[in-house]
Amino acid sequence: MNLDQLRAQIDLLDEKILSLLSERGRLAASIGKVKQKDNAAQFVPSREKQILERMTSSNPGPLSAESVAAVYEQIIAACRVLEIPLGIAYLGPPGTFCHLAAKRKFGPDAAMLPFSNIDDVFMTVEKREASFGMVPVENSIAGVERTTLDRFVGSTVHICAECYVDIQHNLLSKGTREEIKRVYSHPQALHQCRNWLRTNLPEAETIEVSSTARAAQMAAAEAGSAAIGTELAASLYDLPILTAEIQDRPDNRTRFLVIGQEDAQPSGKDKTSLMFAVKHRAGSLWEALGVLHRYKINMTMIESRPTQETPWEYVFFADVQGHSREEPLPEALEALAGQTLFVRVLGSYPEAE
């Protein structure tokens, strides 16, 4: 076949794909009605993970498994909104990496609710004024987001899901690189691009602001200014990308948590987030961690944070593999409770790739 004939074949396939997507959307809307009638969970990450695993494992090629997963993640997100309209609170303003994570997880049609701080995201979900919230918890270079961990103390929300976003910093400006006198961005973004800035914009002043999105807002309004921000921010604030991916390290990723009122069902490959405190005596933490070792529970993260009530006393946050409803974790948690002042499951949810 010649080029025109091949393109005609693709056009026919596209029509069939669109018809099937529309049928899937109608079924999703019907599922939403059943969920509302039965008062069933709105967001079921375990089911979504099973769909992704089924499609990638049965993929005949030539598309890669990663490409198939990316396509189906967007299909699932688009159909989810047809089931039940969702409001997603996130750390704003529009154009942040948190906004990007929320759009990827819940799709472009979900109602996005930006807030200026993490505390307000939690509060909105706690008051049920948003279906879910998206908050950062850990960066592969900068470490944990302490504000997010601290906010779990005393909160009623659950962790429903997690996702990872590759951090790609871009230089955004309406002017040329030679015209740039000031570069705005979040302190973390400026730090993660410092070598590139030193080499390529040695004379430009770097100015810290509250977020990469706020930086884009300021660069859009000021001549001679640039921002380090997301591709999403460039689109939202009509800023050309002068140079893409200026971060010093390519392995920069941020982990985000979806918080809500619902517990996630087991998916077969899950992660559980815990919060616990131990007695203020020698060996108490070692004894607590010994429980996890005894039950062969793999811990992937641990972080300590000072309590709000008593100076020099700490609570510990840990991520372990497994679901709190599937052995051996329930038995291990019961044993852990005997070695700690308290232990609380913040959530069990499918482990993201």
Q: Is the pLDDT of residue 176 over 80?
A: yes
* pTM beyond cutoff 0.75: yes
User: Do β-strands 270-277 and 253-260 pair in parallel, antiparallel, or remain unpaired?
Assistant: unpaired
Same fold, 170-243 and 270-350: no
Catalytic center residues: 254, 256
Judge contact between 339 and 291, C-beta under 8 A. Answer: yes
| E-state strands within the chain | 87-91, 111-115, 132-139, 143-144, 158-166, 170-172, 182-185, 205-208, 225-229, 241-243, 253-260, 270-277, 299-306, 314-321, 342-350
Q: Report pLDDT for 262.
A: 86
The helices-and-strands tally (H runs, E runs) of the chain is: 12, 15
CA 109, 262, 68, 104 torsion: positive or negative? positive
pLDDT given for residue 82 in this prediction: 87
Q: Which CATH superfamily is domain 170-243 in?
A: Periplasmic binding protein-like II (3.40.190.10)
Q: What is the largest CA-CA distance in the chain?
A: 78
CB of 153 closer than 8 Å to CB of 141: no
Mean pLDDT, to the nearest integer, of 133-140? 95
Average pLDDT over residues 50-76: 92
Please name the fold of domain 1-84: Chorismate Mutase Domain, subunit A (1.20.59)
Give me the pLDDT at residue 43, please.
Answer: 84
Judging by beta carbons within 10 Å of its beta carbon (0-12, 13-18, 19+), is residue 164 exposed, middle or buried?
middle
Residue 325: how many CA atoms within 13 Å on its side-chain side? 11
Mean pLDDT, residues 282-303: 92
Distance between CA atoms of 304 and 298, rounded to whole angstroms?
Answer: 18
Residue 13 pLDDT exceeds 90: yes
Burial class from Cβ neighbours inside 10 Å (0-12, 13-18, 19+) for residue 201 reads buried
Is the model's pLDDT at 40 over the cut of 90?
no
Cβ burial, residue 24 (10 Å; 0-12/13-18/19+)? middle
Q: Which CATH code fits 86-164?
A: 3.40.190.10
pLDDT tens per residue, range 75-129: 998 898 888 788 999 999 999 999 999 999 998 889 999 999 999 999 999 999 9
Distance in angstroms (rounded) separating the CA atoms of residues 84 and 93: 25
Q: What is the DSSP letter of 263?
A: P
Q: What is the pLDDT of residue 41?
A: 82
CB of 343 closer than 8 Å to CB of 289: no
The structural domains of the chain, with segments of one domain joined by +, span 1-84, 86-164, 170-243, 270-350
pLDDT for residue 307: 80
Q: What is the mean pLDDT of residues 273-297?
A: 91
Question: What pLDDT is attached to residue 45?
Answer: 87
CATH (one of 3.30.565.10, 3.10.180.10, 3.30.1300.10, 3.30.70.260) for 270-350: 3.30.70.260
The mean pLDDT value for 281-287 works out to 86
